Structure 1
């Protein structure tokens, strides 16, 4: 499938809605915690077990983005969005079958493995294209592209809760909710497939000239051999681990924190908390990434990691004494979490140029795969162990929050080590055809503006 090229007069502002239609759909992954309590009750699962579909989905997101990044660059955004649609929707249909048959392994396979491939390909499908459409404002562009992923749960969380209220929280009700999700998201993602376009030749030429003038053209294979890439890998992994630790267990976490108070949190209020976190996640993606265009990528990551550690400390020390403080700190952490995702493509663009930024971005998302295991594992495993030891309420999470603070400090140090990439890693302005093919670069006739 050749990338659809925008005709003369095409507005670049039509591309963000195409990106949002895909990212708002796959962003449902952030509402998984709404399904955790019903699944645990219906199928007799522990908190750690009920996190498996989400964890595997994030692992597959990173792996499919890493291995599929060059294919996305070569085949274009429409091909990528089509693959994402098929995999993500099919994953829900398999999960629905698994819930109906009470076969949890099928839910894990469908939602986690198949749907996770859709997550990864869908996640990176519009990022490179939007950077090429908006070379003047890369932070804002990537914020637009990735904003929808953070906001997906803003829609999916209350929608899922309402469906479970209507269909029931047994296995058949969960199955029906999965089925509705799969069919609805297929239709919505189709809008992005139809609408997306790549820039025409004139914009490509101008963009390539600007990139050459900047003398930053680092191929993907060279990028992964630089210390800058691995510093950013640590930065992204620690920031994501800290955010996902709250997000994946958000609904049961706030319920546990205030279970022993005079005003416990209801299931409906917990679902509303998940929606609020999604709103903060979404706002952080466009707000903080746009701010990075003004203050610089390194400075904004200093905020994410340093202030994020402070927010975790406040929750650990005072969170169970005040609902507003708990909610506020969690919202700030999730805004940093979302902002980190949206800013990282622009950070990569600053360091490595736009030559193969999509492929480099895909490889870096293996940090997300790692964080997708670490975050839920740290929080759920420690909570399960503390509960087995007879503890309850906020004491289930104190140790895991301390671990998160330590990880954020490590990420802060890694960010401080980032320096400009040495010119020896740069490619020639016009690389040989075999180099471009080997790295999976876009052929000149298909490339967008660099």
Structure 2
């Protein structure tokens, strides 16, 4: 059988008796790899030291990756529905791994634009395609546990930094010598490893047969969810106020969290200068990754009981309070600082995992993958806004004589304000008007 035949959507349809619990590991194989993006901050200080590239300039690598994640998810969502998850995951693996290799070349040649093009653009496309492909697949396999299913799909993305951060630090230490800082070699090795693991996930995934339902599954009637015979077409969803309210909710929630994640390693070293080593900072990134990952499964499962809207109200209101507490009480203790951000990041991750189920409740499961992809343009905006707010406000504060340890305080209050606006948007979300619905016979 040829490679093209193996990638064909029809060849990935599961046969009768297939165990649906084999799908989550395939999703995790993809998301644990692409989740390395959350650990990119461990490269910022070494690249700054080795080549003199500024921290704001380096911050654009991560921002570009998130921009192209959202764009590729938006444009690739309909393609995913047409070609299936296997071909999409395969393409994702080649793009994400290729991004590392092009970036390694950029480091060798000391050309920052190649890191923008490699990790930022090509790698970002791999991120977007890899992100959306398992989500709609798992929702189809678990109609009885939509929140839990999306949590399983997306928690790997939150946990990728838990592997990626220590792996990067270890590889850079291994390759470092008087002739090289070891960064380019690290990029090559990580690119090869991630490509191979993502290909395993791609060829493991299966689609349920048309009309398949779990044994004994009876759909519950709810005014907050569409029936299985109702859906909103992907080309109509953006015409509803619900789409844009949820877009704003996701954008604001992500902006608040992603700026911190993008500079987590540097931030904790500057706030607690002298008492937190680079290795300990990498551990902080890994711990945030653990809570980011755990929150995705925990909160999305909670949403099956509490409801998606209620769960988001918790994220946004409690998150605002915790951000406001960081400058006042969090900077007095490393343990308290870490604890506050651990809870914040659990809800940040939970927001990502809950949004696909929120969309399937409001728009139906038929086009949830494509609609989810389009909604992820909110992540593209947040991927620029969050790091820009953190990086440039930090630079501005320092330029005006503020100590590095205190340069993040104003930023945290700004993040709290963004979450309050998100809270208001979420409160306005109502069921979709019947005129936008399509009903199957």
Cα distance 1:276–1:51, how it changes in 2: closer, same or farther (>3 A)? same
CA distance in 2 between counterparts of 1:52 and 1:201 reads 43
Deviation readout 1:151-171 (Å, 9 max, x if unpaired): 000001011111112222886
Matched, 1:2 2:8: yes
Question: Is residue 2:32 matched to residue 1:24?
Answer: yes
Deviations 1:263-320 (A, max 9, x none): 6110110000000000000000000000000110011101110010111111021122
**RMSD (CA atoms):** 1.9
Structure 2 counterpart of 1:158: 166
Where does 1:382-397 land on structure 2 (aligned, <5 Å)?
Answer: 382-397=393-408
Aligned to 1:197: 206
Looking at structure 2, the residues matched to 208 and 59 of structure 1 have their Cα atoms a distance apart, in angstroms, of 39
* Residue among 255, 258, 262 paired with 1:241: 255
Does 1:280 pair with 2:288?
Answer: no
Runs of 4+ in 1 over 4 A off after TM superposition: 169-172, 204-215
Specify the alignment match of 1:325 in structure 2.
336
| Superposition deviation, residue 355 in structure 1 | 1.5
Note the 1:265-304 alignment, pairs <5 A: 265-304=276-315
- Deviation of residue 76 (structure 1)? 0.4
Work out the number of aligned pairs and report it: 427
Q: CA deviation at 1:209?
A: 10
Is the contact between residue 257 and residue 345 of structure 2 (CA under 8 Å) also seen in structure 1?
yes
- The 5 Å alignment of 1:200-279 reads 200-203=209-212, 213-214=227-228, 216-259=230-273, 264-279=275-290
Q: Say if 1:256 and 1:392, in contact at 8 Å, map to a contact too.
A: no
- Measure, in 2, the Cα distance between the counterparts of 1:207 and 1:73: 27
* C-alpha contact (below 8 Å) 2:155/2:297 kept by paired residues: yes
C-alpha displacement of 1:413: 0.2
5 Å-filtered alignment, 1:327-406, equals: 327-406=338-417
Report Cα offsets for 1:89-135 as digits up to 9, x if no partner: 00000001111111111011100000000000000011001000000
Deviations 1:404-433 (A, max 9, x none): 011000000000000000000001315xxx
Name the SS of the counterpart of 1:391 in structure 2.
coil
With structure 2 as the length reference, what TM-score do the two structures score?
0.94
Residue 77 of structure 1 corresponds to which residue in structure 2? 85
Structure 1: distance between partners of 2:21 and 2:311: 26
Q: TM-score, normalised by structure 1?
A: 0.92
Q: 1:216 to 1:201 in 2, by over 3 A?
A: closer
User: Separation in 1 of the partners of 2:162 and 2:345?
Assistant: 13
- Output one character per residue of 1:299-354: Cα deviation in whole Å (capped at 9) or x when no partner: 11011100101111110211221111110110011101100000000000111111
State which of 197, 200, 208 in structure 2 corresponds to 1:188. Answer: 197
Q: Distance in 2 between matches of 1:25 and 1:317?
A: 36
Residue of structure 1 in register with 2:322 after alignment: 311
Tell me the distance in 2 between the aligned counterparts of 1:76 and 1:401: 41
Q: Which runs of 5+ in 1 are unaligned?
A: 431-450
Give the Cα separation in 2 of the matches to 1:400 and 1:409. 15
Distance 2:416 2:226 in 1: 41
**Alignment CA distance shift 1:310-1:2 (3 Å):** same
Whether the aligned pair in 2 keeps the contact of 1:99 and 1:171 (CA below 8 Å) is no
1:12 aligns with 2:20: yes
Aligned counterparts of 1:163 and 1:380: Cα–Cα separation in 2: 27
Change (3 A) 1:205 1:140: closer
Task: Name the CA distance, whole Å, in 2 between partners of 1:212 and 1:393.
Answer: 51
Cα distance in 2, alignment partners of residues 425 and 209 from structure 1: 25
